[in-house]
Structure 1
Amino acid sequence: MSSENENNAPVTEVAQDSWGSMPKRKPVPTATAAMESEEAASGQTSLTNDKPAASSTKKTWLPSTWLPAGGLGLWFASQKRSRKFLIIGIGAGILLIALIIGLAVGLTVGKKYANPGLSELPLLINTKVDTDFSRHPNLPLPTANGGPYEGDLTYYNPALGSCGYTNTDSDMICAVSHILYDAASTGSNPNANPLCGLKIRLRRNGESVDVKIVDRCVGCAVTDLDVTEAVFKKVADLDQGRVSVEWSWLETPPVSVS
């Protein structure tokens, strides 16, 4: 046994010497290793954060309108509302203008009839005479001022008469015989004849009409009367042309009929 121990001893020493000659590495403390791992992790994170983040909600722009694709529906909705409000505004404006015009016309017409001007009033001197006397069916002929007289009744188209009045076919007027007209004259001015404006009543077939003297009839006999178509139609047909008639003065005449 002693010899075996002696033989093994040098081997053990050589092994110990070879391991002892190699440099030994110091053990890394646990805390230092943890710090290094954290620094490495933080370095990777910083590198990652340095890169620009990709946008998760990238907008797409339409080239024709430069509107975001996501807001296209909202844009069309707003345009539709704008058109609707525009149409409503135009309609309201038209109605307002029509109302203003209607009120203006109504006020003008009302003012015209409420306060007629002097130009709208009938003039009775040296102008067209308002001689539209009402038709009096079958009124008797008065006798207080002379009459009744009987003569021929004809009609003519009046214009500017001897009394200075301008009349039409629709006026209730007459022309007396030139014999009566000249007999009543008091001067050279025919417009100043006293017969001008006097009223007489003529009667035929149960109808009577009051007329005013405004003219002188050259072709009439003393008791003949020349009237307008409107007067003639009240007592006869125009086709008859000439008929007999009775008449009387409604006012005191300046001349007597013999």
Structure 2
Amino acid sequence: MTASREDFEQRLRAIGAARYHDLHPFHDRLHGGQCTIDEVRAWVINRYYYQHSIPMKDAAFMSRVESPELRRIWRSRMEDHDGKDGNEGGIWRWLRLAEAVGLDPDYVASCQGVLPATRFAVDAYVRFVREKTLLEAVAASLTELFAPKIHANRIEGLLKNYAFANDSALSYFRHRLQEAPKDVAFGLSWVLDHADTQERQDMAANALIFKTDVLWSQLDALWAAYVTPARIPPGAWQPDTATTLAAVR
């Protein structure tokens, strides 16, 4: 039986409440000031791979959209990350964070030190958006429903606990507090409009679950490599290498 619009929205929100990566212990460690500077650096390096892939994901989505109106609305997501007309964009803001924690931004942008599991998870998300239905692709983006809370907690926690944290270093998160709500308001409305059968509602819900798995698996990989058992895979970033700048503690 097809759920009402209101009940289906609650189903989507319940997925976030149970599965969003704000529940991962790495975020407790990060926001609570318990991460070493190298653990923070590893997070910045690996999260950059996700950030830099988002515009490619959105370009793949737009290449399949026949509606000029939908393309026009969706295009702003790419501009938020890539930048436009005085807006430096989220990717450059993330590289500013990388420099603030003592990393060489060029090294981070090269993606050379990314964990294999991070690469596999993010690439799987890009493929998902490229190959699945438009409904599933939009539904997968709805993790942004749950992002404002984690961004606010991150800003508060980093400012409180780390010397590198300042308005410049954390500008990515402050901008996302302004940018994400408009994106998610449109995406949620679009999904609720188009998930008009039980089958389509199940497709959308499963797409959102997939995306939460993508985010969670990245943190699992980070934890295993840099927290415990601290087994860094071959080719991934190694602390105390020439990829760091002046010491930051």
TM-score range, shorter-chain basis? Answer: under 0.3
Q: TM-score, normalised by structure 2?
A: 0.21
Greater helix content: 2
User: Which entry has the higher C-alpha Rg, 1 or 2?
Assistant: 1
Q: Which has the higher contact order (CA 8 A, sep 6+)?
A: 2
TM-score when scaled to structure 1? 0.20
- Could you say which structure has the higher strand fraction? 1
